Amino acid sequence: MIKLSIIIPVYDVEFYIRRCLDSVFGQNIPISSYEVIIVNDGTPDNSMLIVNEFVTRYSNTIIIHQKNQGLSSARNTGLKVAKGDYVWFIDSDDCIDLNCLLEITSYLDQHLSCILAFDFVYIYSDGVRQRNGQKFRSDSFFMQGIDFLRLNGTGQAWRNIYSRSFLIDNNLFFSTGMIHEDGEFNMRAKCLADTITYIPKIFYFYFVSREGSIMHSISLKHVIDLVNYSIKADTFIREKNLPSNFQKEIYIISSHALFYSIYESKFLNNENRIKYLEYLKLNTYFWYKACNFTFFSSFKIKGMFLYLSPKIYLKLYYLVQGLRKS
């Protein structure tokens, strides 16, 4: 039987952690069939008091304490000590479906793959629920990772379950210091995955617009990290010596990230917009290369205009967007 490692970083989630752990331990499967690795990332609240309640009741729990280093570092810490055949990175303010682990492990017993994908639900603060299904096109139970990446984009880490050996053998850890660590991680993971399989069922519930959520506000670092996709992509392509068709898919992702960063930059104040412009100029080589080597002529054209004059491009973009000076 496949054994699963569930990795849960904990930081400042006192009001949500009980809901998360109730779902993780509310499973119709022997606790010997999975392990729960909780990484205390220096949480300043009472979250760990609640965690300790579960530790006394469930012997399959491992707690690791570290100084606050961020989500990526906490996930990496958990991955390095995990013993399961597969790992599932779960956010401590979300929850999973009750009694889903038996179905997941039973399926993986029959369909070993690098990555297992599934459906999920966004739950908004007003109670509205939105189901999100992942696209899967294949005559068998498997797709190649690059094809799945083309259909679904990068996405969050929690919407997939990963073969631990696949991650370790390919040195697939989360980049530290990034806000958009999930997308950058999945850009690499899905590209390198020989096989991805899929269960069209809801296994994860993601709570949107929560107080303290990383995506709740836009900062200068938020938009700069989207530009950094181009740098990470270029490094990844060179390190792995990817074939040209793989390169183009990666360039498309980093170009999307670049233009989304430009969209988000309109929400910055004037001082940070100037800093953002300087960062674009500093890293012209990477993002222009990404735009120029995609499949899409629209990216090539916009990238050329941005390359010729980032300042004028941004001014015109903000004008079209109706941005008022702050």
Q: What angle do CA 174, 8, 21 make, to 5 degrees?
A: 160
- Provide the mean pLDDT of the chain: 94
pLDDT of amino acid 125: 87
pLDDT of amino acid 323: 61
% of the chain exceeding 90 in pLDDT: 91
207-234 per-residue burial string, b: 16 or more CB within 10 A, e: under 16: beebeeeeeeebebebbbbbbbbbebbb
Residue-wise pLDDT for 222-233, tens only, equals: 999 999 999 999
pLDDT of amino acid 95: 98
Does residue 94 sit in the same domain as residue 202?
yes
pLDDT of amino acid 126: 87
Residue-wise pLDDT for 39-84, tens only, equals: 999 999 999 999 999 999 999 999 999 999 999 999 999 999 999 9
pLDDT of amino acid 212: 45
**CA-wise closest residue to 62 among 45, 80, 46, 42:** 80
Residue 325 lies in a domain: no
Does residue 197 sit in the same domain as residue 251?
no
pLDDT of amino acid 210: 53
- Last residue within a domain, chosen from 195, 214, 233: 214
pLDDT of amino acid 209: 67
Does residue 66 sit in the same domain as residue 149?
yes
Residue 19 lies in a domain: yes
Does residue 203 sit in the same domain as residue 265?
no
Residue 299 lies in a domain: yes
Does residue 48 sit in the same domain as residue 180?
yes
Q: Could you tell me the residue range of the domain that residue 205 belongs to?
A: 4-214
Mean pLDDT of 116-125: 96
Residue-wise pLDDT for 122-174, tens only, equals: 999 888 999 999 999 999 999 999 999 999 999 999 999 999 999 999 999 99
Residue-wise pLDDT for 248-289, tens only, equals: 999 999 999 999 999 999 999 999 999 999 999 999 999 999
| pLDDT for residue 325 is more than 50 | no
Does residue 194 sit in the same domain as residue 241?
no
Does residue 40 sit in the same domain as residue 185?
yes
66-88 per-residue burial string, b: 16 or more CB within 10 A, e: under 16: eeebbbbbbbbbbbeebebbbbb
Does residue 208 sit in the same domain as residue 228?
no
DSSP H helices, 141-212, are 145-152, 164-169, 181-192
Does residue 310 sit in the same domain as residue 284?
yes
| pLDDT for residue 215 is more than 60 | no
pLDDT of amino acid 326: 43
115-123/129-132 β-pairing: antiparallel
Residue 207 lies in a domain: yes
- Last residue within a domain, chosen from 180, 214, 248: 214
| pLDDT for residue 317 is more than 70 | yes
Give the Å distances, CA to CA, from 296 to 16, 181, 300: 43, 25, 7
Residue 8 lies in a domain: yes
Q: Do 12 and 48 meet the contact criterion of CB atoms below 8 Å apart? A: no
Q: Could you tell me where the beta strands, DSSP code E, fall in the chain?
A: 4-10, 34-41, 61-66, 86-89, 95-96, 115-123, 129-132, 160-163, 196-207
Signed CA dihedral, 225, 166, 235, 39: sign only:
positive
- Last residue within a domain, chosen from 214, 236, 262: 214
Does residue 190 sit in the same domain as residue 241?
no
What is the count of structural domains for the chain?
2
Mean pLDDT of 304-323: 92
Q: Do 189 and 183 meet the contact criterion of CB atoms below 8 Å apart? A: no
Residue 326 lies in a domain: no
Q: Which residues pair with 87 in a beta bridge?
A: 5, 162
Does residue 118 sit in the same domain as residue 265?
no
CATH number of the domain where residue 73 is located? 3.90.550.10
Mean pLDDT of 184-189: 98
Does residue 197 sit in the same domain as residue 225?
no
Residue 275 lies in a domain: yes
Residue 11 lies in a domain: yes
